[in-house]
């Protein structure tokens, strides 16, 4: 059974079509990278799977059922967490919130400390779990966040930009950990990312979102000059280095202005290099 | 009267029960105020309460009625109005100003003497009746019951609203609920220390606790402990040495924060030496 099954999905937010005609399936124990320009609707995809928003058209099944909020079988790591308030507590407490944070009432679950300890061991965070998050490095904090997200051994794990704001060494550590979680728990893992390269060694599938379209397939099927040129509507070149790294040429505009808008949520921009932001603003105002 | 005779009088005993109940509630709610960085909101709710109390006095009602109406109203308004932090600051500021303006109006309309206003601003703990104690204690107990029942979800949405929402919690409703708890706690704290010094029970003990520990449950317990001991010491010194009880409570609460900072400082220095 597929973990996620999307058929002809279309999302409309605030009257704007984010993307449409999306069909793909995601199988257990696979890692899928979700790529595309800012505001193209990558996090929107995660919000759909989490049951926070609904499809306008088409159908979506998550673990054989309609997506619903609070599903323990789905783990989630948000892109920006309220670091300030969170940082005053210990890693163990934060992971504990993954276990019983959503539960009201006075009772205590006796299995909590064991379950939390197991998650800490799996993610290699046990040795610093009793330090306040404030004094940990970015990579250590992200490992704790992964322990939080995997505390119930989810069958589906959604990671929104888990490598953002990490140095290269920490990125490599997190990538190894994501792979380890897949191997030990058999979870299907979806990773929203800006750059495929750091993840390339562990990724099985790619969902590339641009210009309101979603392309899915293996890395070799999607990350080709034909598919990406078609997706972006202008020529894209891919140079494969001697070590097998793919350098994608033709997305300079996107990477030169990684955060062109302070409020990218729900704002669709195509990411075409020749396409100036002026015309996008114009489009926004006339619609 | 000797000290022990003073401590045995009914007004000191009423005060003792009232400060204990209020301090426990204020310590617990205060932890979340500090954690959620909502000190400004807490400040505003207290000052809005001043307008409510002044209005009630003008209309010939009991001040606590006006306090409850205005504080709850302001709490819900702030909870509803500010989705983002920046927005919330503006909403709090405007609510605060509008209410203070009303307070000035009510005071000018009220031609009676200013004693009522004075006790709202600075507290009047030694004047509470058994009826007041009953009301204050039951409101505080209610707050404590709700806080303990919602403790984990409240903590979750306070530190990580996005993930909490994905796990099925509603940050918005919990934030509204918390503002209501904050409003009620402010109302009862105003009975003791007054509008101007409400922070002494609501923020200082919790801030001290947060400096000392990274375990949330321990921090809540410490905050409650600091608040209660400041309140008890304040009451005792007020009776023994003289001077306003609210002054003494504020002094001890501030002192607890100062001591906590010094203690954590020396701890960090020692920790660094161990690492080196």
**What's the average model confidence in pLDDT over A254-274?**
43
Give mean pLDDT, residues A71-77: 94
Looking at residue A286, its pLDDT comes to 33
DSSP classification of residue A161: S
Same domain, A185 and A275: yes
Residues of chain A with pLDDT > 70, as a percent, come to 85
Could you tell me the pLDDT band of residue A264, with boundaries at 50, 70 and 90?
very low
Distance CA A152, CA A100 (A): 10
Q: Taking Cα atoms as reference points, which of B71, B68, B67, B92 lies closest to residue B80?
A: B92
* Residue-number span of the structural domain to which A184 is assigned: 4-73+154-286
**Chain B CB within 8 Å of residue A65 CB:** no
Last residue of a domain, one of A148, A165, A190: A148
How far apart are alpha carbons B46 and B268 in whole angstroms? 35
Mutate to test the interface with A, among B39, B148, B156, B160 (most CBs of A within 10 A): B160
Which residue stretches of B112-215 are H helix? Answer: 115-122, 130-149, 151-159, 161-166, 171-193, 199-202, 204-212
Q: DSSP code of A26? A: E
How many angstroms separate the CA atoms of A136 and B248, rounded? Answer: 39
CB contact under 8 A, B153 and A103: yes
Residue B84: what pLDDT?
56
Provide the pLDDT confidence category of residue B275 given band limits of 50, 70 and 90: very low
Query: In the predicted model, is pLDDT for residue A265 greater than 50?
Result: no
Q: To the nearest 10°, the Cα dihedral for B113, B116, B118, B120? A: -160
More confident call, B111 vs B32: B32
A259 and A119 fall within a common domain:
no
Check residue A65 and report its DSSP letter: B
Output b/e per residue, A85-115; b: 16+ Cβ within 10 A. Answer: bbbbbbbbbbbbbbbbbbeeeeeeeeeeeeb
Tell whether the model's pLDDT for residue A53 goes beyond 90: yes
SS (H, E, C) A203-245: CCEEEEEECCEEEEEEHHHHCCHHHHHHHHCCCCEEEECCCCC
Chain A, chain B: beta-carbon pairs less than 8 Å apart:
85
Element (H, E) at B104: helix B85-109
Mean pLDDT, rounded, for B55-81: 87
Of residues B112 and B161, the one with the higher pLDDT is B161
Clarify whether residues A98 and A143 are in a common domain. yes
DSSP string, B208-236: HHHHH-S-HHHHHHHHHHHHHHHHHHHHH
Whether residue A36 sits in one domain with residue A160:
yes
SS3 A11: strand
Both A232 and A120 in one domain: the answer is no
Determine, for residues A102 and B152 on separate chains, whether the beta-carbon distance falls below 8 Å: yes
8 Å CB contact of A101 and B152: yes
pLDDT above 60: residue B31: yes
Put simply, whether A86 touches B (Cβ < 8 Å) is: yes
Angle at B97 between CA B94 and CA B98, to 5 degrees: 85
**Mind telling me how many Å the CA of A131 is from chain B's nearest CA?**
8
Quick one: A169 and A64 in the same domain?
yes
Beta-carbon separation of A101 and B216 below 8 A: no
Kindly indicate the confidence band of residue A287, based on its pLDDT and cuts at 50, 70 and 90. very low
**DSSP letter at A53?**
S
- Residue written as token pair 């947060």: B210
The answer to whether the CB atoms of B214 and A88 lie below 8 A apart is: yes
What CATH number does the domain containing B90 carry? 1.10.3470.10
Domain C-terminal end among A105, A130, A148: A148
Same domain, A122 and A244: no
| Torsion over CA: A75, B157, A267, A13 (sign) | positive
A contacts of B150 (beta carbons < 8 Å): 104
CA distance, residue A241 to nearest chain B CA (Å): 38
Q: Which residue of chain A comes nearest to B207, CA vs CA?
A: A88
B12 and B2 Cβ atoms separated by less than 8 Å: no
CA distance B125 to B123: 6
- In chain B, residues with a C-beta closer than 8 Å to the C-beta of A69 are 165-168
Domain that holds residue B203: 3-275
Residue A70 near chain B (CB below 8 Å): yes
pLDDT band for position A82 (50/70/90)? low
Interval B211-232: pLDDT, tens: 999 999 999 999 999 999 999 9
State residue A274's pLDDT score. Answer: 38
Name the residue among B105, B103, B89 with its Cα closest to residue B43: B89
- Give the pLDDT of residue A243: 80
pLDDT of residue A216: 94
The average confidence (pLDDT) of chain A is 85
Q: What pLDDT shows up at residue A279?
A: 34
Q: B152 CA to chain A: closest CA distance, Å?
A: 5
Q: If you count them, how many residues does chain B have?
A: 276
A183, A218: one domain? yes
DSSP per-residue string spanning A20-42: EEEEEEE-TT-EEEEE-STTSSH
Give this complex's ipTM: 0.87
Contact A103 B152 (CB under 8 A): yes
Higher pLDDT, B222 or A284: B222
User: Are residues A184 and A116 part of one domain?
Assistant: no
**What is the mean predicted confidence (pLDDT) over A215-241?**
89
Indicate the number of domains in chain A: 2
Query: Per the structure block, which two tokens stand in for A266?
Result: 């729900």
What integer pLDDT is reported at residue A6 of this predicted model?
Answer: 96
* pLDDT number for residue B269: 63
Chain-centre distance for alpha carbon B173: 21
Which tokens is B238 given? Answer: 């007020």
CB burial string B31-54: b at 16+ within 10 A, e below? bbbbbbebbebbbbbbbbbbbbbb
Q: Are residues A25 and A64 in the same domain?
A: yes
Instruction: Please check whether residue A191 is in contact with residue A26, taking contact to mean a CB–CB distance below 8 angstroms.
Output: no
pLDDT band at A277, cuts 50/70/90? very low
Number of compact structural domains in chain B: 1
- Considering the domain boundaries, does residue A85 fall inside one? no
Which of A143-147, B81-85, B108-112 bottoms out in mean pLDDT, i.e. has the lowest?
B81-85
Within 10 angstroms of residue B64's Cβ, the number of other Cβ atoms is 21
Q: What is the pLDDT of residue B86?
A: 59
Residue A131 lies in a domain: yes
**How far is A250 from A11, CA to CA, in rounded Å?**
27
Q: Name every chain B residue with its beta carbon within 8 A of the beta carbon of A90.
A: 214-215
Choose one of A148, A167, A186: the last residue of a domain. A148
Predicted confidence at residue B263, as pLDDT, reads 92
The more confident residue out of B24 and B94 is B24
What is the pLDDT averaged over residues B6-33? 92
Please state, in angstroms and rounded to a whole number, the distance separating the CA atoms of residues A118 and A278. 52
B65: which 2 tokens? 């009625």
Mean pLDDT in residue range A221-250: 87
Q: Over the stretch B123-176, which tens digit does the pLDDT of each residue have?
A: 878 777 888 899 999 999 999 999 999 999 999 999 998 899 999 999 989 999
* CATH code assigned at A240: 3.40.50.300
- Mean pLDDT score, A255-261: 45
Q: Are B93 and B74 in contact (CB under 8 A)?
A: no
Q: What is the mean pLDDT of chain B?
A: 88
| pLDDT recorded at residue A254 | 54
pLDDT band at A17 (very low <50, low <70, confident <90, very high): very high
Do residues A201 and A241 both lie within one domain?
Answer: yes
Minimum mean pLDDT range among A26-30, A110-114, A116-120, B106-110:
B106-110
Strand-pairing partners, residue A26, are: A4
Structure confidence at residue A75 (pLDDT): 96
Q: Between B117 and B215, whose confidence is greater?
A: B215
A39-53, A240-254, B53-67: which range is least confident on average? A240-254
The tokens for B44 are 């505003």
Query: Is residue A134, in this structure, part of any structural domain at all?
Result: yes
How much is the pLDDT for B228? 97
Q: Does B165 touch chain A (CB under 8 A)?
A: yes
Question: Distances in Å between the alpha carbon of B244 and those of A64, B3, B124?
Answer: 67, 16, 9
Instruction: Check whether residue A257 and residue A173 sit in a common domain.
Output: yes
Res A253: pLDDT: 55
| pTM score of the predicted model | 0.87
Average pLDDT on B251-265 reads 94
Angle A91-100/B151-159 helices, nearest 10 degrees? 120
pLDDT at A252: 60
Interface of B with A in 223-242 (CB under 8 A): none
> What is the nearest CA distance from B73 to chain A, expressed in angstroms?
25
* Sheet strand arrangement including A16-26: A16-26, A4-13, A57-62
Q: Does the pLDDT value for residue A83 go beyond 70?
A: no
């Amino acid at each position: 059974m597929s973990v996620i099954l999307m058929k002809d999905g279309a999302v409309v937010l605030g009257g704007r079509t984010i993307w449409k005609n999306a069909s793909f399936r995601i199988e257990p124990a696979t890692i899928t990278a979700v790529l595309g320009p800012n505001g193209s609707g990558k996090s929107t995809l995660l919000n759909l799977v989490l049951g926070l928003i609904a499809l306008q058209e088409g159908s979506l099944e998550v673990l054989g059922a309609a997506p619903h909020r609070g599903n323990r079988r789905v783990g989630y790591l948000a892109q920006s967490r309220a670091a300030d308030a969170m940082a005053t507590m210990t890693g163990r407490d934060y992971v504990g919130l993954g276990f019983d944070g959503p539960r009201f009432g006075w009772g205590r679950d006796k299995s909590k400390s064991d379950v939390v300890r197991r998650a800490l061991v799996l993610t290699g965070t046990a040795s610093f779990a009793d330090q306040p998050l404030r004094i940990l490095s970015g990579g250590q904090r992200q490992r704790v966040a992964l322990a939080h997200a995997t505390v119930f051994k989810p069958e589906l794990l959604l990671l929104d930009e888990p490598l953002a704001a990490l140095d290269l060494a920490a990125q490599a550590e997190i990538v190894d950990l994501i792979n380890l979680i897949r191997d030990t728990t058999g979870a299907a893992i979806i990773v929203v990312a800006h750059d495929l390269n750091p993840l390339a060694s562990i990724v099985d599938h790619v969902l590339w979102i641009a210009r309101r379209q979603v392309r899915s397939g293996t890395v070799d099927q999607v990350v080709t000059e034909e598919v990406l040129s078609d997706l972006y509507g202008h020529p894209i070149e891919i140079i494969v280095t001697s070590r097998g790294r793919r350098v994608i040429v033709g997305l300079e505009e996107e990477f030169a202005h990684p955060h062109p808008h302070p409020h990218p949520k729900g704002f669709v921009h195509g990411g075409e290099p020749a396409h100036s932001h002026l015309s996008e603003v114009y489009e926004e105002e006339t619609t | 009267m000797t000290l022990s005779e003073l401590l045995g009088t009914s007004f000191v005993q009423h005060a003792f029960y009232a400060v204990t109940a209020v301090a426990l509630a204020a310590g617990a709610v205060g932890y979340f105020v500090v954690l959620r960085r909502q000190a400004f909101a807490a400040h505003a709710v207290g000052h809005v309460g001043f307008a409510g109390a002044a209005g009630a006095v003008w209309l010939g009602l009991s001040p606590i009625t006006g306090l409850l109406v205005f504080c709850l109203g302001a709490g819900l308004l702030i909870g509803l109005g500010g989705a983002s932090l920046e927005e919330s600051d503006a909403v709090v500021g405007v609510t605060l100003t509008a209410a203070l303006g009303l307070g000035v109006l009510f005071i000018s309309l009220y031609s009676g003497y200013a004693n009522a206003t004075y006790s709202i601003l600075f507290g009047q703990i030694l004047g509470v009746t058994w009826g007041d104690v009953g009301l204050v204690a039951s409101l505080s107990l209610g707050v404590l019951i709700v806080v303990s029942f919602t403790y984990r979800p409240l903590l979750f949405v306070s530190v990580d609203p996005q993930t909490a929402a994905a796990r099925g919690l509603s940050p918005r409703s919990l934030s509204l609920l918390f503002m209501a708890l904050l409003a009620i706690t402010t109302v009862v704290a105003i009975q003791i220390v007054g509008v101007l010094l409400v922070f002494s029970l609501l923020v200082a003990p919790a801030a001290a606790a947060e400096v000392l520990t990274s375990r949330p449950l321990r921090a809540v317990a410490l905050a409650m402990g600091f608040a209660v001991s400041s309140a008890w010491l304040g009451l005792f010194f007020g009776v023994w040495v003289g001077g306003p009880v609210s002054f003494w409570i504020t002094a001890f609460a501030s002192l607890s924060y100062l001591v906590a900072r010094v203690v954590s400082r020396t701890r960090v220095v020692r920790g660094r030496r161990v690492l080196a």
